Chain A
Amino acid sequence: MADLLEVRDLVKHFPVKRGVLFKQTIGWVRAVDGVSFTLGAGETLGVVGESGCGKSTLAQVLMLLEPPTSGEAFFEGRPMFSLRGAELKRLRRDMQIVLQDPYTSLNPRMTVGDIVGEPFEIHPEVAPKGSWAGRVRELLDVVGLNPEHINRYPHQFSGGQRQRIGIARALALRPKVIVCDEPVSALDVSIQAQVMNLLGELQSEFGLAYVFIAHDLSVVRHLSDRVAVMYLGKIVEIGTEEEIYNHPTHPYTQALLSAVPVADPALRGRRDVIRLTGDVPSPIDPPSGCRFRTRCWKAQDVCATEEPALVERGGHPSACHFAEERSVVP
Chain B
Amino acid sequence: MTALLEVEDLHVEFRTRDGVARVLNGVGYHVDAGETLAVLGESGSGKSVTAQAVMGILDSPPAFVTKGAVRFHGEDLLTASEERRREVRAEGIAMIFQDALSALNPVFTVGFQIEEQLRLRRGMSRADARARAIELLDLVRIPHAKQRVREYPHQFSGGMRQRAMIAMSLALDPEVLIADEPTTALDVTVQAQIMDLLAEIQRERHMGLILITHDLGVVAEVADRIVVMYAGRIVEHADALSLFRSPGHPYTAALMRSLPRIDSKGTALETIKGLPPSLLRIPAGCPFHPRCPRAEDVCADLVPDQVRLGLGRTSACHFAEEVVRG
Give A contacts to B, CB under 8 Å: 50-51, 158, 160, 188-194, 196-197, 200, 215-219, 221-222, 241-242, 245, 255-268, 275-279, 329-330
Rounded to whole angstroms, the CA-CA distance of A221 and B240 in the bound complex is 25
State whether the Cβ of B42 lies closer than 8 Å to any Cβ in chain A: yes
State whether the Cβ of B241 lies closer than 8 Å to any Cβ in chain A: yes
Given contacts A257-B262, A263-B216, whether A188 and B241 have CB atoms under 8 Å apart is no
Indicate if the CB atoms of A279 and B160 lie closer than 8 Å: yes
State which of A193, A217, A263, A279 has its C-beta within 8 Å of the C-beta of B159.
A279
- Listed by A's residue number, 22 A-B pairs whose Cβ atoms lie within 8 Å are A188-B42, A188-B43, A189-B214, A215-B188, A217-B262, A218-B217, A222-B260, A222-B261, A222-B269, A259-B188, A259-B189, A261-B217, A261-B218, A261-B221, A263-B216, A263-B217, A263-B219, A263-B256, A264-B244, A265-B244, A276-B189, A279-B157
Indicate if the CB atoms of A275 and B269 lie closer than 8 Å: no
State which of B191, B240, B256, B259 has its C-beta within 8 Å of the C-beta of A259.
B191
State whether the Cβ of B3 lies closer than 8 Å to any Cβ in chain A: no
Which residues of chain A are within 8 angstroms of B160 by Cβ–Cβ distance? Answer: 279
State which of B43, B196, B240, B269 has its C-beta within 8 Å of the C-beta of A197.
B269
Given contacts A190-B272, A255-B189, A256-B189, whether A265 and B262 have CB atoms under 8 Å apart is no
Closest residue of chain A to B261 (Cβ to Cβ) is: A218
Indicate if the CB atoms of B262 and A260 lie closer than 8 Å: yes
Rounded to whole angstroms, the CA-CA distance of A329 and B261 in the bound complex is 10
Shortest A192–chain B CB gap in Å is: 8
Within 8 A of A (CB), among B216-250: 216-221, 223, 240-241, 244-245
Closest residue of chain B to A271 (Cβ to Cβ) is: B221
Given contacts A259-B189, A264-B244, whether A196 and B220 have CB atoms under 8 Å apart is no
Indicate if the CB atoms of A262 and B263 lie closer than 8 Å: yes
Indicate if the CB atoms of B258 and A275 lie closer than 8 Å: no
State whether the Cβ of B215 lies closer than 8 Å to any Cβ in chain A: yes
Rounded to whole angstroms, the CA-CA distance of A221 and B219 in the bound complex is 21
Shortest B228–chain A CB gap in Å is: 12
Indicate if the CB atoms of A265 and B191 lie closer than 8 Å: no
Which residues of chain B are within 8 angstroms of A158 by Cβ–Cβ distance? Answer: 275
Interface contacts beyond A263-B217, A266-B244: sample of 9 additional A-B pairs, CB < 8 Å, sorted by A:
A190-B272, A191-B275, A193-B260, A241-B265, A255-B189, A261-B221, A266-B245, A279-B157, A329-B262
Which residues of chain B are within 8 angstroms of A330 by Cβ–Cβ distance? Answer: 263
Given contacts A194-B271, A260-B262, whether A189 and B188 have CB atoms under 8 Å apart is no
Which residues of chain A are within 8 angstroms of B302 by Cβ–Cβ distance? Answer: none
Indicate if the CB atoms of A329 and B263 lie closer than 8 Å: yes
Closest residue of chain A to B291 (Cβ to Cβ) is: A190
Which residues of chain B are within 8 angstroms of A265 by Cβ–Cβ distance? Answer: 220-221, 223, 240-241, 244
Shortest B185–chain A CB gap in Å is: 9
Indicate if the CB atoms of B259 and A189 lie closer than 8 Å: yes
When A and B form their complex, which 9 residue pairs have the shortest distance between CB atoms, in order from nearest?
A261-B217, A222-B260, A193-B258, A259-B192, A193-B269, A190-B272, A188-B42, A259-B188, A50-B187
Rounded to whole angstroms, the CA-CA distance of A260 and B157 in the bound complex is 20
Closest residue of chain A to B264 (Cβ to Cβ) is: A221
State whether the Cβ of B19 lies closer than 8 Å to any Cβ in chain A: no
Indicate if the CB atoms of A189 and B262 lie closer than 8 Å: no
Rounded to whole angstroms, the CA-CA distance of A191 and B262 in the bound complex is 18
Indicate if the CB atoms of B188 and A196 lie closer than 8 Å: no
Contact bitstring B166-196, A, C-beta under 8 A = 1, else 0: 0000000000000000000001111111011
Closest residue of chain A to B185 (Cβ to Cβ) is: A51
Which residues of chain B are within 8 angstroms of A256 by Cβ–Cβ distance? Answer: 188-189
State which of A196, A200, A257, A263 has its C-beta within 8 Å of the C-beta of B261.
A263
State whether the Cβ of B75 lies closer than 8 Å to any Cβ in chain A: no
Which residues of chain B are within 8 angstroms of A255 by Cβ–Cβ distance? Answer: 189
Indicate if the CB atoms of A190 and B268 lie closer than 8 Å: no
